[in-house]
Amino acid sequence: MSQSELDRLEMLAEVDELATGAARWAERESAWEPAQRAAALLKRVLGRVESLRVRLEAPLVVATFGGTGTGKSSLVNALVGDDVAVSGRQRPTTRQPVLIAHPETELDLLGLPKDMCEVVRCEADLLRDTVFIDCPDPDTTDTDDASSNLERLRKILPYCDVLIYTSTQQKYRSARVVDELTEAATGCRLVFVQTHADLDEDIREDWRQHLSGRYEVPDVFFVDSLKALEEQRQGHRPTGDMGRLLDFLSRQLASSERVSVRRANVVDLLSAGLERCVKIVDDNWPKLHTLQQALSEQRESLRKKMATNLSRELMVSRNLWERRLLTAVTASWGFSPLSSVLRLYNGLGALIASFTLFRARNSAQMALLGAVQGYRWLEGRSQVETAKSSLERASALGIGDALLRESQLVIAGHVKSAELDPALAVPKNLREMRGQAGAVERDFLGDAAGRVDAIIDELALRNSGWFVRGMYELLFLSYVVFVLIRIGRNFFYDSFIEQQPILSTDFYIPATVFLVLWTGLLVTAFTHRLRGGLSRKIEELSHDLVNRQMDQSLFPDLQRTCDDAEAGRQRLHQLKERSTQLRRTIATSDGLGATKSPPSRERSPVGQEL
């Protein structure tokens, strides 16, 4: 197999892959109405694409296209060398499409609507590889009913592979004809011919500039159809541009070029269809994007409420968390001078209460002290329960019924504007919406309780390291050692050798006071360290839990629909970019013209309204 054959097969495979991707996109389900409209359009485009692929090897269908009196019928007669179509220069002559084919051509393979055409058989050489259609005029004053020239033209054009666009010095700037050509040229190759060379001036350069904004115009032919037909009747080959046009068509429309032409038409049609679908989706995307922003704003509002509530509720129980943390730290330290002081500080209340038992002198005082101790125990248990309930209150996230109703009303307005099913933003009842919020709350509660325990363990381990422990123990013992050295020097050296008096209570009382103050300073610094670390961790915990839990939406079905619509839009843009790349390499020809970019009008590229 030659390299050129491999390249051709590879290109065909790319076209098949693009068509398959477009078909998958068109079949995907979407609750977004613009996506549904785009999918319906794309299905119709793919139907025409499939018809092109089915008749890939069939003769090419060539149609003449142009305004009234531009010589379409005369040109057809000249091309086939016989009077097969009635011609006229001043009024619309062709009322019914005239189908000119070789006697051996099987018209059934082309799928043409033969019932609306006048079929003429002719043995012209050009017809061995092609079928010609002399089309009605697009610029008549007929109404747009089913029997008008314009409607007949629109029904026949989707079956055409090549359009021969004819014009004259008087007609080449006709806006109506150019508008119809814009619709008709999608999925077709183009040949540009200026007729009436016997009467008109050569306006090809000006015409080419006029067309250059919309079309690729490789060449423009300037022909005299009547003269060419007369030359053929006399047995001569047409001269001038008509002879060049015949050679061009025989070469470009030969059987060997059928696949290339139709493949280019398929890519052109897919590109136009995808371009139109992208326009439909993008024109309506801002409203859906506004809905996504509204969902995000609602979620952000809940996130702020959650973070505020969680931090506040956890801070209510901070004293309990601090005592638990201090207990965990001292337990990790084991027995040491400062850890003993910390244990004393942590259990100071219970220690003071126990000393009061020694002051009881009768049974009434003992009963009163017992009642006080029982109250303290109940208060401790109450603090533990309060800590648990604070998590439960925080887990409510501030999601009240009023907030839910407000969110529902706000989102429902955006849903209607975005052309989505209103049921997506209207749960069956408020209880259902509250249940969705409750699912978030239950997950939140279990996660928060576990994370608080983990924070206490983490901070206890961090504050029990050798560096922190050694630093605080050294600071505490430095004063104790200083006092002991001072007492020892006074007792062993000053009193025995220097004969100085032993230190009195004037030294021991201030030393004890300063020891208490120094110990209190170290305990305060250490507990402040624990409190600061615990506060930072609680704040981080609040934001982390909120961010994780609020990944869930109170409108999950609506959120999934928006995400699906966004993914579909991105995929559609990818298909459009791929079709544009293929169009640059496939849907171009050295000789045949084509549209430069897909039209952006409301009519679908299959030639009919949706």
**pLDDT tens digits, 338-373:** 888 888 887 664 444 444 444 545 555 455 545 544
Q: Give every CB contact of residue 352 below 8 A, 6+ residues apart in sequence.
A: none
The CA distance from 385 to 441, in Å, is 19
Q: Is the dihedral of CA 354, 360, 362, 366 positive or negative?
A: negative
CA terminus-to-terminus distance, the chain? 44
Q: Flag whether pLDDT at 524 surpasses 80.
A: yes
pLDDT of residue 151: 80
What average pLDDT does the structure give for the chain?
78
Task: Give start and end residues of each alpha helix (H) in 212-257.
Answer: 225-233, 240-252
Lowest mean pLDDT among 137-146, 390-399, 446-455: 390-399
* Architecture of the structural domain at 58-253: 3-Layer(aba) Sandwich (3.40)
Find how far residue 598's CA is from the centre of its chain.
Answer: 24
pLDDT of residue 568: 93
Q: Flag whether pLDDT at 416 surpasses 80.
A: yes
Q: Flag whether pLDDT at 248 surpasses 60.
A: yes
Find how far residue 522's CA is from the centre of its chain.
Answer: 57
| Interval 65-76: pLDDT, tens | 888 888 888 999
- Longest CA–CA separation in the chain, Å: 156
pLDDT of residue 220: 93
Strand pairing of 130-134 and 98-101? antiparallel
Per-residue pLDDT band for 186 (boundaries 50, 70, 90) equals: confident
Of 290, 267, 272, 288, nearest in space to 569 by CA: 288
Q: Give every CB contact of residue 191 below 8 A, 6+ residues apart in sequence.
A: 162, 163, 164, 165, 221, 245, 248, 249, 592, 593
Q: Flag whether pLDDT at 165 surpasses 50.
A: yes
The CA distance from 562 to 32, in Å, is 8
Is the pTM higher than 0.75? The answer reads no
Residue 165's DSSP bridge partners are 65, 192
pLDDT of residue 244: 92
The residues spanned by each domain of the chain are: 58-253, 285-349+387-567
Lowest mean pLDDT among 104-118, 366-380, 447-461, 510-524: 366-380
| Interval 383-410: pLDDT, tens | 444 545 555 554 544 455 666 677 777 8
pLDDT of residue 537: 82
Q: Flag whether pLDDT at 466 surpasses 50.
A: yes
Per-residue pLDDT band for 428 (boundaries 50, 70, 90) equals: very low
Is 558:415 a contact under the CB 8 Å cutoff? yes
Decide: helix, strand or coil at residue 85. coil
- Inter-axis angle of helices 363-395 and 318-333, nearest 10: 110
The CA distance from 167 to 75, in Å, is 11
Radius of gyration of the chain (CA): 45
Is 281:38 a contact under the CB 8 Å cutoff? yes
Give residue for tokens 């995000």. Answer: 296
- The 8-class DSSP code of residue 593 comes to B
Residue with more model confidence, 311 or 366 = 311
Of 432, 373, 110, 146, nearest in space to 258 by CA: 110
Percent of the chain predicted with pLDDT > 70 = 76
pLDDT of residue 302: 72
The CA distance from 305 to 294, in Å, is 17
- For residues 423-427, give the mean pLDDT: 66
| Helix, strand, coil content of the chain in percent (nearest 5) | 65, 5, 25
The CA distance from 435 to 526, in Å, is 45
pLDDT of residue 113: 80
Is 592:260 a contact under the CB 8 Å cutoff? no
pLDDT of residue 224: 92
Q: Which of 4-18, 35-49, 545-559 has the highest mean pLDDT?
A: 35-49
Residue 604 identity (one-letter amino acid): S
| Interval 563-592: pLDDT, tens | 999 999 999 999 999 988 888 777 655 578
Decide: helix, strand or coil at residue 464. coil
Q: Please give the structure tokens belonging to residue 596.
A: 């430069």
Is 145:89 a contact under the CB 8 Å cutoff? no
pLDDT of residue 574: 94
Which phi-psi region, left, alpha or beta, contains residue 187 (left: φ > 0; alpha: ψ -120 to 50)? Answer: left
Q: Flag whether pLDDT at 193 surpasses 90.
A: yes
Q: Flag whether pLDDT at 147 surpasses 70.
A: no
The CA distance from 61 to 486, in Å, is 117
Lowest mean pLDDT among 38-52, 253-267, 445-459, 468-482: 445-459
**Residue 187 phi/psi, 5° resolution?**
85, 15
Is 136:116 a contact under the CB 8 Å cutoff? no
Is 554:436 a contact under the CB 8 Å cutoff? yes
3-state secondary structure 105-168: CCHHHHCCCHHHCEEEECCCHHHHCEEEEECCCCCCCCCCCCCCHHHHHHHHHHHCCEEEEEEC
Give residue for tokens 């004293």. Answer: 319
